[in-house]
Structure 1
């Protein structure tokens, strides 16, 4: 697969999503993202989906899908092409590697309770099957083909979709805030919904004492900043990686009474991995 073919077949949105970069502002043809190499409050990376290119107003640098991968992964062109080749053969379900599907026009066909054997087994594998009522079974059409997965809804009506083969978002990327009927002064924060399901499984025999915020991506933290001001106690269940530690630092610096709960699973990537693999 040469450079020209990659640039024609691989969408820049999908590439950015694979590195956990999502739009802050967008319309049908263009969007603004936070910069790839620095923290900022006002997004400066302009992305043109039709031209499949990006421009950083802060540095004056332009990117295509290949140069974005090179910049983020600090790799050669050939290594970038290898990385991007996964987006071309995304429908090969025989692959055991989790991939991010190219997000094109889609249509949700059906939403129902989780019943499909593959998805039931997947929830059991993640050890959160008892929390199946908190997610949905979503059937959707994309690129003329039909797919299905476990769906978790965000505040913009979009769905985070997971199955054993893929990880995508249908619709606009956003956070998910789950509040109880009573006004709580405490909130627990998770990066992804499987960590949230894990926590709910851990506390299944207890009454909930807090609200829950699922970021659905560390890049969505800016949408939660005003929300978090309403809580006197914040519990963090973030990933033990660079992004998770960066978000933890930002929250600890901006708010009082923040408790880092990642110490519970410090030898694992996240709460769900600890729940799956450790002995309880």
Structure 2
């Protein structure tokens, strides 16, 4: 990642990942308490359209790189090393896509060439490495796309959101294309169930959703995937439609901020993160569980083999 790429990431998402929530905001701007110090009145302004900040109390401002340099007191090189490890959901390795009025038409520098059922062996192997079986395949697609003037055709696992945008994952790539939005799916329900249903399970990313479905194959209800912590407020608006809310958010700082904010608005929501308290997220919990089960099975097979050898020796 270079400075130009890091500076295209919404600073609001960076601030949320660090545990800073706005005191007030609208489509154009957001105000925060000084992230570099202590204050009671918000003086840190974020211009969402320009993606730049200005701290009125100190008379300074800048872009994402300049913010993190001051926030962590480190060099530009160290800022980029830090950013590489964060896996920001809105980071695109390709040129940033300007949004059209419909937010659905691909930019000439970016083109989705094909969307089909999952069948690529490399993508299937990737899901298997994440502890996921063919049971979850119907929830995703195989998306092929091109970037810029490159002739190479790329492919990834695609998860669609409510606005027709796509979250994309493969072993080497994590990003999203077209309009960013949350995803809501009705699992194992007919039309009558959907009208009656007041139950929803909430995830940050779709890999955690797939992990949940892998473990709870007969779950009946709605699932909401945020797809970005920057969509926290939109998520809360949709949660007003439910009387029973179950949270499976990440155990990192950003996840805890989201969880606390949702619980503040919906005190009766059920925080399920204790189930995987020793893991970063639900998918990591699933992978470790499968690994432990495999080790137990392997040990059991070894014990049986040793017992058979001992029986054979006694008979001789």
TM-score (norm 2): 0.68
Residues 32/136 of structure 1: CA separation in 2 closer, same or farther (3 Å cut): farther
User: Hey, which of these two has a bigger chunk of helix by percent?
Assistant: 2
SS in 2 for 1:172: coil
Q: What is the rounded CA distance, in whole Å, between the counterparts of 2:15 and 2:145 in structure 1?
A: 22
Residues 257/11 of structure 1: CA separation in 2 closer, same or farther (3 Å cut): closer
Work out which of the two has the higher radius of gyration on C-alpha atoms and give 1 or 2: 2
- 1:221 aligned to 232, 248, 252, which one? 232
Residue 141 (structure 1) aligns with: 146
Residue 80 (structure 1) aligns with: 79
Cα deviation for residue 114 of structure 1 reads: 1.2
Matched-pair contact (CA < 8 Å) for 1:177–1:212? yes
Residue 185 (structure 1) aligns with: 198
Matched-pair contact (CA < 8 Å) for 1:235–1:259? yes
- Residues 221-267 of structure 1: CA deviation (Å, up to 9, x unaligned): 11122221121111010101111111111111111421111111110
Residue 45 (structure 1) aligns with: 46
Residues 128/252 of structure 1: CA separation in 2 closer, same or farther (3 Å cut): same
- 1:10 aligned to 5, 10, 18, which one? 5
Cα deviation for residue 34 of structure 1 reads: 7.2
Q: How does 1:221-260 map to 2 (within 5 A)?
A: 221-260=232-271
Q: What is the rounded CA distance, in whole Å, between the counterparts of 2:232 and 2:13 in structure 1?
A: 17
Q: What is the rounded CA distance, in whole Å, between the counterparts of 1:171 and 1:57 in structure 2?
A: 32
SS in 2 for 1:13: coil
Cα deviation for residue 196 of structure 1 reads: 0.4
> Aligned residues, how many?
251
Residues 48/223 of structure 1: CA separation in 2 closer, same or farther (3 Å cut): closer
Residues 174/264 of structure 1: CA separation in 2 closer, same or farther (3 Å cut): same
Q: What is the rounded CA distance, in whole Å, between the counterparts of 1:111 and 1:80 in structure 2?
A: 36
Residue 266 (structure 1) aligns with: 277
Residues 76/265 of structure 1: CA separation in 2 closer, same or farther (3 Å cut): same
Residues 20/270 of structure 1: CA separation in 2 closer, same or farther (3 Å cut): farther
Matched-pair contact (CA < 8 Å) for 2:111–2:145? yes
Matched-pair contact (CA < 8 Å) for 1:103–1:170? no
Unaligned runs of 5+ in 1: 88-98
Unaligned runs of 5+ in 2: 18-24, 36-43, 86-90, 98-109, 294-316
Matched-pair contact (CA < 8 Å) for 1:119–1:163? yes
Residue 95 (structure 1) aligns with: none
- Residues 181-221 of structure 1: CA deviation (Å, up to 9, x unaligned): 312111100010011011111121x2x33211100112211
Residue 116 (structure 1) aligns with: 120
- Residues 41-91 of structure 1: CA deviation (Å, up to 9, x unaligned): xx9522566xxx61347666422343133245442234125557x69xxxx
Cα deviation for residue 36 of structure 1 reads: 9.5
